[in-house]
Every structure is written in C-alpha cells, then in structure tokens.
Amino acid sequence: MSVVDAQVVLDGERIVPVYTPASVAEAVAVATALRRGGIGAIEVTLRTPVALAAIAAIAEAVPDIAVGAGTVLDAEQLRAVQHAGATFAVSPGCTPELLQAGRDAALAYLPGVATGSEVMAALAAGYRLLKLFPAEPINALALLSAWRGPFAQVRFCPTGGIDATRARDYLRQPNVACLGGSWLTPADALAQGDWGRIETLAREAVATLGAG
C-alpha cells in the first residue's frame, strides 16, 4: 500500500492538541470541549492504559474531530490504534519497522524526525508530513528555516515545548503545516474537570492562530 496523505486527513487543521487520557469519560469531555472551541483534531497519547479505549470513545462520541494516536512506538501499536478508530498516528521518532507499517496502514502516519538523516529516511519511504520532535529543545525554528532548501517538498508538525506564544512563530514558517502541544489541556484543568476552561483555551487558540 502507499502512504495515506496526512494533510488530507488533518484537513487544514493548524493546531493538534496533545492529550494524555486519565479516563475514557475525561477523554470524551476533553474532545467535546476542544471541538466546541473550534479545534478539529486531537492526538491521544498511548501513555496510559485507557488510551486505546479513549480513542475508540472519542471516535464514537465526537465524530467531527479527527482523533489520532501519539507515542506510537512500534508496528503493533500502530495496528491497535487503527483498530480503535484513530485516523492518524504520530511517533516521537521513527524506525524502519514503523516506516513500513505506516505504508501498510489505512490511517495517516506521521513519523517523528529530529535530524536531516531521519527526514531523508521518511522521504524515501514516501512520507511528506513529518512530526518534528522535540521542537523547542532542538531549536526547531532554526531547523525549519535551514530545511526549507534541501527538503522543500516536506511539511512539518513541530511538537514539544510549544505554548500559545511560540505557536505563532512556528505557524509563520512556510514549511509548517500544523503543530502539536499540550497547552490546551493543562493538568490543573484536567484535574478539576474544568472543561469550560479547555473550551476557552481552544477558542482563544483558534482566534489567534487560526484553525485552518
């Protein structure tokens, strides 16, 4: 099979909130709040035992948000998140096994890169939208600028340490299709079940950064 076009699946969404679920009910509430705030995609990380069930529940209960999986570390997890209903999946890095599994999958896969050699491996495997992680620690703004020449055909989704202020700088880069970050789902709002605050943060982000 060939690579599913991640830019088509993300459909112009510029902000992909990264969220680690504590429970299925919380996940549905978070996705609902983000959607009400105008966000059209969510990355649910596979970092808790409820993550697969959370992805399935969001796909069922909030069908107008694109639900994806994050922290996909091997091909078995990629198959599991597809089975759960994810329409895209991302990894913090990439392996030859995942680059092949992503080509065999019916969902859009975004390998993670942090070096030129990793970009070249992902390009050779057919990928055009790559996660750039961890963005802030590796000075990704400078990398994005340097990579515009040699990797003109590639678009990136920088993630890692980006907040509302830095997001603006990233989204100005012509080779940035979208970006990821956890600032729309702060730990205290999750702990308090403050879905209104998450909706407000989403609304503000869409107003200042643009949804699409």
- Check: CB of residue 42 under 8 Å from CB of residue 68: yes
Task: Tell me whether residue 131 is one of the annotated catalytic residues.
Answer: yes
Cβ at position 38, least distance to ligand CC(=O)C(=O)O in Å: 21
Q: From the list 87, 159, 173, 185, which residue makes contact with ligand CC(=O)C(=O)O (rule: CB under 6 A)?
A: 159
Binding mask 117-156 for ligand CC(=O)C(=O)O (x = CB under 6 A): ----------------x-----------------------
Nearer to ligand CC(=O)C(=O)O, 38 or 161 (CB): 161
> Residue 14 in 3-state DSSP?
coil
Q: Tokens 């890169």, residue?
A: 113
**CA atoms of 71 and 76, how far apart (whole Å):** 12
The answer to whether the CB of 40 falls within 8 A of the CB of 69 is: no
Distance between CA 126 and CA 2 in Å, rounded?
8
Binding-residue pattern over the window 58 to 97 for ligand CC(=O)C(=O)O, x denoting contact by CB under 6 A: ------------xx------------------xxx-----
CB 25 within 8 A of CB 3: no
Spell out where 48-139 has E strands. 66-70, 88-90, 108-110, 112-113, 129-132
Choosing among ligand CC(=O)C(=O)O, ligand G3H, none, which partner's interface includes residue 91 (Cβ < 5 to 8 Å by kind)? Answer: ligand CC(=O)C(=O)O
Site string for ligand G3H, 121-160 (x = CB under 6 A): --------------------------------------xx
The strand pair at 88-90 and 108-110 is best described as parallel
Binding residue (CB under 6 A) for ligand G3H from 9, 18, 31, 189? 18
Measured CA to CA in angstroms, residue 125 lies from 53, 65, 100 at distances of: 30, 28, 7
Q: What positions carry a catalytic annotation?
A: 43, 131
Binding site for ligand G3H (CB under 6 A): 18, 159-162, 180-182
